[in-house]
Structure 1
């Protein structure tokens, strides 16, 4: 793919030292921000900038993908001017109550930023809106773009955490709702989605401090204080997700305790009714032995007496079990 072909398939803006992104340079030294659709176009666009960068960048990406289906994050300085960032992205859909993961890649260098995004997290659109929106400018050109992409990703992760927190609150109400037969499946599903979100964020939080490691010959991607704020935000999101997970574990324990209590209540009721039914069986068994010296067998009122004895005994047992709370 030639440089012109890469530009034709990409969204491209120029970001200067003042003002919002525009379609053409707005000052003498603008930063060119190119956003492409996937990794292949990303590597082609990098090759148009510098073929040696493409080889080093591909090596970083291949090395990070040695473990299949594991979220991959990496911050690698390719030289003193160029830094590559790969990180997973997350988003939450209300329809299926699931956390989905994608991937974001960026290459930041002198006057240029190249990015790609796989998935529906919308980090690129949020970064563009952040650059075009009001607010103080932090950094110039490429630094401003890199910071906007970084903060957009943190913002998306924060929204995922809030959505999961709302789902946890709704699940908490369901756990104490007796009309819901078994909320265990929902609890497990939500714990799985929280785990998925944490798995996607932890690699990035582990690699983010690498951006602050700027030597005397390296260009700063953004100021240290801003990067540390972003790292603190990611750690705070992870702590909140951990708290949500702990709350779900507590809910599961409460639900199991409720099930145990209901089972104990059912066992007591079964035992009480069994005792009540056993009493007339015992009386009938005694008088059914038909021994010769049993005067009640030849008594005129023997049969009504036996029935009355059964009824009175059952009533006494019923009232006794009701008094102790077994019925």
Structure 2
């Protein structure tokens, strides 16, 4: 679990309302998409665009960001501009950790401003979606800004889905380790994976809670995306969270099974120790009896007393060994 503050490469594109490719200006009214490297550059671009908008953005959105806690914020700054600040997640295979970053989006009537920290690459996913072929003219086709906003939301959910799949694969690998008695104690691995699942859920739940805000409309306010699409996105987020919860429950079950296995192995070891202790105690008892220095002790002056005592010890140990093997203690 780690937080990354690596900025992505800035860029500027034009997105048309009827399927114009990203990077080419639409003949009508293209939407301008400006991607900043970090939050400070993002705020600087907003201040250059509209100082009043910058003040409202800083007061209602940016100040809500917490340095060590994922926070999702959706605020309508006025009827034309909506700001979104949401955590992003990604999973690294080498250290099996979930990392968190941050995505900021400001959507207006003819412009979209974004910044992203970390390596989730939500912007790249949005670009791929916008570059994908689609119908050039369709009824109810969203505007350029709506297309960018929806592409970013879908990219965000797609990244979260990839993290859930990667965590599911890690859980499956861990399950094989837990039931392999040749491996070391997997408790630390189980705990680390449960912690990463918790981190992923902490980043995902704020986003799911704020998604309905994007569908709020008035006579002069236009939604970022249609309600049906965002409802599907919200259901996808809920499905991801359910899967993460199932992974967490499975890890808890594996931990309980592992502890039960440890208890069973400890009981087996105790039985073996007790059996060998009984076998070793028997000759000691026989030797103690024959080592008593009583005057009228039977067999004390017997010629075959010494070999008889040794034979009695060996036979007793063999009998005890066979008995313990039969009952499964050895």
Q: TM-score, normalised by structure 1?
A: 0.94
**Number of the residue aligned with 1:80:** 79
Alpha-carbon displacement from aligned partner over 1:144-181 (angstroms, at most 9, x marks no partner): 00000100110011001001100100110000111102
Q: Which residue of 1 aligns with 2:5?
A: none
Q: Secondary structure at the match of 2:293?
A: coil
The Cα of 1:94 is off from its aligned counterpart by 0.9
Q: Is the 8 A contact 1:110 1:142 kept in 2?
A: yes
> By how many angstroms is 1:215 displaced?
2.5
1:321 alignment counterpart:
324
Aligned equivalent of 2:106 = 107
8 Å CA contact 1:13, 1:21 repeated in 2: no
Give 2:40's aligned residue: 40
The separation in 2 between residues aligned to 1:24 and 1:315, in whole angstroms, is 91
Paired residues for 1:139-150 under 5 Å: 139-150=142-153
Partner of 2:248: 245
Say what the alpha-carbon RMSD is for the aligned residues: 1.4
- TM-score, length-normalised on structure 2? 0.93
Cα deviation, residue 39, structure 1: 0.7
Query: Cα distance, 1:62 vs. partner?
Result: 4.2
Q: Which residue of structure 1 lines up, in the alignment, with residue 23 of structure 2?
A: 23
Q: Give the alignment of 1:81-230 within 5 angstroms.
A: 81-135=80-134, 139-230=142-233
Structure 2 counterpart of 1:6: none
User: Residue by residue, what CA displacement relative to the aligned partner does 1:66-88 show, whole Å, maximum 9, x if unpaired?
Assistant: x5411111000101111000000
Inter-partner Cα distance in structure 1 for 2:326 and 2:271: 13
Residue from 216, 235, 238 that aligns with 2:238: 235
**Secondary structure of the corresponding residue to residue 308 of structure 1:** helix
C-alpha distance in 2 between matches for 1:156 and 1:197:
11
Q: Cα offset for 1:29?
A: 1.2
* Contact persistence 1:276–1:318 (CA under 8 A): yes
Q: What is the aligned residue count?
A: 318
Q: In the aligned structure 1, how far is the partner of 2:298 from the partner of 2:128?
A: 101
Is 1:55–2:58 an aligned residue pair? no
- The answer on whether the counterparts of 2:11 and 2:34 sit within 8 Å (CA) in structure 1 is yes
Extract structure 1 runs of 4+ deviating beyond 4 A: none
Q: For structure 1, which runs of at least 5 residues remain unmatched after alignment?
A: 1-8
Give how far 1:133 is off. Answer: 0.8
Query: What secondary structure, in the 3-state scheme, does the structure 1 residue paired with 2:103 have?
Result: strand
Return 5+ residue gaps in structure 2 as ranges. 1-8
Greater length-normalized contact order (CA 8 Å, ≥ 6 residues apart): 2
Give, in whole Å, the separation in 1 of the partners of 2:219 and 2:189: 52
Distance in structure 1 (CA, Å) of the matches to 2:306 and 2:15: 105
Which of 257, 261, 266 is the equivalent residue of 2:264? 261
